[in-house]
């Protein structure tokens, strides 16, 4: 019986020694392998670089940053040939377009009133004046519509699909955008001003007065009133007229103040007695020639 514990102890010692021996051999193998790998990597830097890249975690993809395109880039739109009139200006057209100084005064006033950067306001006003010359429409009327429709925001969009500076319904007037690249050009300031101005010109001509044209432009032709839209546009137009005449006009006056609704004046196209909302300006002087 006494010999059994001694035998068990001897067996345990042998087992422990075997484990230690095996571990020692394993560590020796790993050490030699590591030395060989280090030597190979030292001799082959390209392999070391590839191994380093493979062990590095792949960087997480950055979330795309969505920014609006620069306004200067958007201004590089192809000009439409529709309604272009590049001939010499008549005295009436010159009076309607005003002088460069008057245009600059209008630009400065709109920039302050609608908090638009000077360069951007200059590009928008210049485009409005260029378009006005081509289609024979008062540039101040174009600018007044732009101001009331979008506050001179070229990226404005309404829930019903009106887009851009003049809030053009591109789905309805898609044919007018074909020469400018399709309806995707609706947010291009140049295309939007041109198409909106041509639509406005057509409505004024068909309606026989600026009031009737504005009523159709805002989509209220079938209704008795236009909820004061025409009055707001013409009030802004009159402010711009005063600015272009060199008068000091406050830039903080209410821009969208509600006006009492009144029936729009719809006269025959040849009726010379039609007056504007303030009863002082003939519609032909606003709409052009």
Look at 28 and 152; give whichever has higher pLDDT: 152
Query: Which has more confidence, 143 or 56?
Result: 143
Task: Tell me if 81 is assigned to some domain.
Answer: no
Q: What is the pLDDT of residue 47?
A: 58
- Using alpha carbons, select from 152, 157, 162, 147 the residue that is nearest to residue 199: 162
- What is the number of domains present in the chain? 1
Q: Give the Cβ contact number of residue 81 at 10 Å.
A: 8
Q: Is the pLDDT of residue 77 over 50?
A: no
- Looking at the DSSP bridge assignments, the partners of residue 162 are 169
Q: 187: exposed, middle or buried (C-beta count within 10 Å: 0-12, 13-18, 19+)?
A: buried
| Residue 29 belongs to a domain | no
Check residues 270 and 247 and name the one with the higher pLDDT.
247
Nearest to 269 by CA among 200, 204, 214, 193: 204
Tokens of 5: 């514990």
151 in any annotated domain = yes
Distance, in Å, from the CA atom of 138 to the CA atom of 232, rounded to the nearest integer, reads 17
Q: Name which of 49-58, 79-88, 205-214, 235-244 the model is least confident about.
A: 79-88
The larger pLDDT score, comparing residue 278 to residue 132, is at 132
Give a yes or no: residue 23 inside a domain.
Answer: no
The top-scoring range by mean pLDDT among 32-41, 57-66, 98-107 is 98-107
Q: How confident is the model at residue 178 (pLDDT cuts 50, 70, 90)?
A: confident
Would you state the pLDDT for residue 9? 58
256's CB contacts (< 8 A; 6+ apart) are: 148, 232
Round the average pLDDT of the chain to a whole number and report it. Answer: 74
Q: Where are the beta strands (DSSP E) in 160-222?
A: 162-163, 168-169
Average pLDDT over residues 48-66: 54
- Write down the pLDDT at residue 161: 87
The rounded percent of the chain whose pLDDT value lies above 70 is 57
**Is residue 177 within 8 Å of 171, Cβ to Cβ?**
no
- The pLDDT-based confidence of 277 (bands split at 50, 70, 90) is very low
The answer as to whether 36 is a domain residue is: no
The yes-or-no verdict on residue 23 having pLDDT over 70 is no
Between 53 and 94, the more confident residue is 94
Residue 76: pLDDT band (50, 70, 90) is: very low
Q: Which two tokens stand for residue 71?
A: 């306004």
Distance CA 238, CA 163 (A): 25
pLDDT of residue 182: 75
pLDDT tens sequence across 83-98: 445 566 677 777 778 8
Give the number of C-alpha atoms closer than 13 A to the C-alpha of residue 225, restricted to the C-beta side: 7
Q: What percent of the chain has pLDDT over 90?
A: 42
Q: Give the list of residues 6+ apart from residue 138 with CB closer than 8 angstroms, or none.
A: 96, 132, 237, 285, 286, 287, 288
The most confident of 70-79, 90-99, 105-114, 251-260, by mean pLDDT:
105-114
Residue 207 lies in a domain: yes
Would residue 261 count as lying in a domain?
Answer: yes
Find the domain containing 205 and state its range. 88-287
In a domain, 95, yes or no: yes
- Rounded to an integer, the average pLDDT of 93-104 is 85
CATH number at residue 172: 1.10.530
């Amino acid at each position: 019986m006494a010999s059994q514990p001694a035998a068990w102890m001897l067996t345990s010692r042998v087992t422990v020694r075997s484990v230690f021996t095996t571990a020692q051999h394993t560590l020796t193998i790993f050490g030699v392998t590591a030395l060989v790998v280090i030597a190979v990597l030292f001799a082959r830097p390209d392999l070391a670089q590839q191994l380093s890249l493979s062990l590095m975690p792949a960087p997480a993809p950055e979330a795309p940053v969505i920014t609006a395109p620069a306004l200067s880039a958007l201004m590089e739109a192809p000009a439409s040939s529709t309604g272009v009139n590049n001939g010499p200006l008549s005295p009436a057209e010159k009076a309607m377009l005003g002088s460069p100084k008057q245009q600059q005064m209008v630009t400065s006033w709109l920039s302050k009133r609608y908090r638009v950067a000077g360069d951007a306001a200059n590009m928008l006003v210049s485009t409005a004046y260029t378009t006005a010359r081509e289609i024979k429409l008062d540039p101040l009327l174009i600018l007044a519509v732009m101001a009331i429709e979008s506050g001179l925001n070229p990226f404005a969009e309404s829930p019903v699909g009106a887009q851009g500076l003049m809030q053009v319904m591109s789905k309805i007037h898609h044919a007018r955008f074909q020469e400018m690249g399709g309806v995707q050009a609706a947010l291009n300031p140049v295309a939007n001003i041109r198409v909106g101005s041509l639509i406005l010109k057509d409505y004024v001509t068909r309606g026989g007065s600026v009031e009737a044209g504005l009523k159709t432009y805002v989509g209220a032709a079938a209704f008795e009133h236009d909820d004061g839209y025409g009055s707001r546009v013409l009030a802004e137009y009159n402010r711009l007229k005063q600015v272009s005449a060199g008068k000091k006009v406050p830039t903080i006056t209410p821009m969208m103040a509600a006006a009492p609704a009144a029936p729009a004046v719809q006269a025959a196209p040849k009726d010379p007695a039609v007056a504007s909302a303030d009863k002082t300006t003939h519609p032909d002087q606003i709409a052009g020639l």
